[in-house]
Structure 1
């Protein structure tokens, strides 16, 4: 089946991490059809990450928290637009509604088994049924369906203008710079603040490095940052601010990123920043770093010797298993292997 790609709507409204996973989809379509017009329907929290992205012609923001009023606004926003195809990468009911509101005659979504909340009802075409996989791989299935070659590219690198704007935040330093993310959307995914403090002290004492807090300013992040400052002899530089383009710059300037399962983790991997992933609550085979930096993953999700499946659900109380020693070993490995790496995240020869 030949699907026209002149006017493409992409529906992915949720998290920053999923926005990162969507970028290879839009990059691949644009590379395959440079004249295609790609409109991305998303919510405000992630929109700043891709505004002005060369593969995205237009971002339409949905005020999803406004409920039906937000979707009424989306209907008005889309009223004058015409799409050939809409891709619903998100298996939730509200994403299905947004997909239907595009009015596209071809609406592609997941097969029934993977389409939660009856979102399959809003699709005219469905992906072939497959077992669950990594989120990124599932997104790339849409390219297979369209007959578009995959380009595993994200294009998150800061622009020259952003580099000039944000450079004063992080002046050059003689030792390595290790960025740390302390907060996520779910407290079950977070690593204890006192262990970040101990890690910061070890990086300063043993590596002559500096640590930097990046991320947002939610109440839990504020509390964690305060606890780290109180406990650490070498407190990290606090550069948290929920400016996603600023965050991309800071991650690109860091030698190593230490992060639990949250959006900045996937941003770091996409940017080619060696990323030490702290995974315990969520399944790293489905939500962990994609392809890169697998040897830097600290896996507290599985038991020793366990061959868990990609569909294994969340597990409570596992983040406490991750020790400072384990994370420090991964930071040291990252610096040995990648500190002078190429921009695509490949180790030095």
Structure 2
């Protein structure tokens, strides 16, 4: 299957990666690969509304098409209409589930390359005209980079995420952090308080003690980073009720969240989108893992010394092929564990 992408037959290439934010981050290097291979090629990305914000302004993505899955048949019809006059020549479907397979079909591409059948569900691989070869589970980034083979791109090619902010976004973020640093003598540490899956959350009751420890040990200014979900707000309220001073940057703008992740000195996060955005932006990140495997979905090839890993048992070798979730493990992470990882990241500075 090596080198299927012939420039004369692939003027428009689609990438279907609908959700979540972390997965979309892992897909970004493929957009760069496609554009580096042929700068005149049109690269089109299909995503749901919130993850689509990660892709906006990316230098290698020419068009972002938002798929409203919740709209049902009407959403599928709108996606079909978006490609009716300009179908793709080839589409990469990076999704496991049937919704990604349907979206790839609606791009109109006669060639649709998907994940290995064993890595898909609900018959999604049946919609692919070609599938990657089988193999064990591996880090999500490594799995996605396997699409380089049918694209004819060397596996040793540089990997870049190229998250790009507009001048207006950079100006707003600079003004925000100027205000924060005007009253902060130490590092700015971002805290991500919840995920889309409560099993991946660190106990909310521990965040007040962590925020206090960051202030007392490192002279940190604590910045709350993330969205407006109920669990995030409950954790933020718990911190404030404990009398711990924090800067609240929670909100419903994905792009604003990304600029906050870019501007902090350190991010502390469970397994959720901001963690992977931090990695792509080269922001140091302490990852909190217990429910999911950090060697499969954690920071890729960097910051492993900052990962608090309660997924892997003592004496057990790190194994990216393990896919199964482990319930009840996030509760094993203590405030002292997280503070120690923060100290490694910050070098004990105050």
Normalising by structure 2, we get a TM-score of 0.92
- The answer to whether the 8 A contact 2:207-2:235 is kept is no
User: How many Å separate the matches in 2 of 1:111 and 1:269?
Assistant: 26
Which of 145, 153, 158 lines up with 1:151 in the alignment? 158
Which of 289, 293, 297 lines up with 1:287 in the alignment? 297
Secondary structure in structure 1 of the residue aligned to 2:267: strand
Which of 240, 245, 261 lines up with 2:255 in the alignment? 245
User: 1:133-167 CA deviation, whole Å, 9 max, x = no partner?
Assistant: 11111111111221124331111243432121233
User: How many Å separate the matches in 2 of 1:114 and 1:204?
Assistant: 44
- The answer to whether the 8 A contact 2:59-2:164 is kept is no
**1:192 maps onto 2:203 in alignment:** yes
Secondary structure in structure 2 of the residue aligned to 1:59: strand
- State the Cα distance separating 1:65 from its structure 2 match: 1.1
From the superposition, tell whether residues 227 and 234 of structure 1 become closer, same or farther in structure 2 (CA, over 3 Å).
closer
Secondary structure in structure 1 of the residue aligned to 2:322: coil
1:68 corresponds to: 73
**1:135 maps onto 2:140 in alignment:** yes
**1:21 maps onto 2:26 in alignment:** yes
Secondary structure in structure 1 of the residue aligned to 2:347: helix
Which of 158, 163, 176 lines up with 1:169 in the alignment? 176
The 5 Å alignment of 1:241-280 reads: 241-280=251-290
The 5 Å alignment of 1:106-125 reads: 106-125=111-130
- The answer to whether the 8 A contact 1:82-1:102 is kept is yes
1:96 corresponds to: 101
User: How many Å separate the matches in 2 of 1:155 and 1:235?
Assistant: 34
- State the Cα distance separating 1:308 from its structure 2 match: 5.7
User: 1:208-257 CA deviation, whole Å, 9 max, x = no partner?
Assistant: 111100000011111111111112x4332111113222122111111110
- The answer to whether the 8 A contact 2:132-2:147 is kept is yes
Gaps of 5+ in 1: 340-349
- The answer to whether the 8 A contact 1:177-1:210 is kept is yes
User: How many Å separate the matches in 1 of 2:327 and 2:159?
Assistant: 33
1:51 corresponds to: 56
- The answer to whether the 8 A contact 2:104-2:112 is kept is yes
- State the Cα distance separating 1:54 from its structure 2 match: 0.8
User: How many Å separate the matches in 2 of 1:274 and 1:51?
Assistant: 23
CA RMSD of aligned residues (A): 1.5
**1:87 maps onto 2:89 in alignment:** no
- The answer to whether the 8 A contact 1:11-1:42 is kept is yes
Secondary structure in structure 1 of the residue aligned to 2:87: coil
Count the aligned residue pairs.
337
- The answer to whether the 8 A contact 2:111-2:130 is kept is yes
1:209 corresponds to: 220
**1:315 maps onto 2:326 in alignment:** yes
- State the Cα distance separating 1:278 from its structure 2 match: 0.1
**1:324 maps onto 2:340 in alignment:** no
User: How many Å separate the matches in 1 of 2:116 and 2:202?
Assistant: 35
Moved more, 308-317 or 70-79: 308-317
- The answer to whether the 8 A contact 1:157-1:271 is kept is no
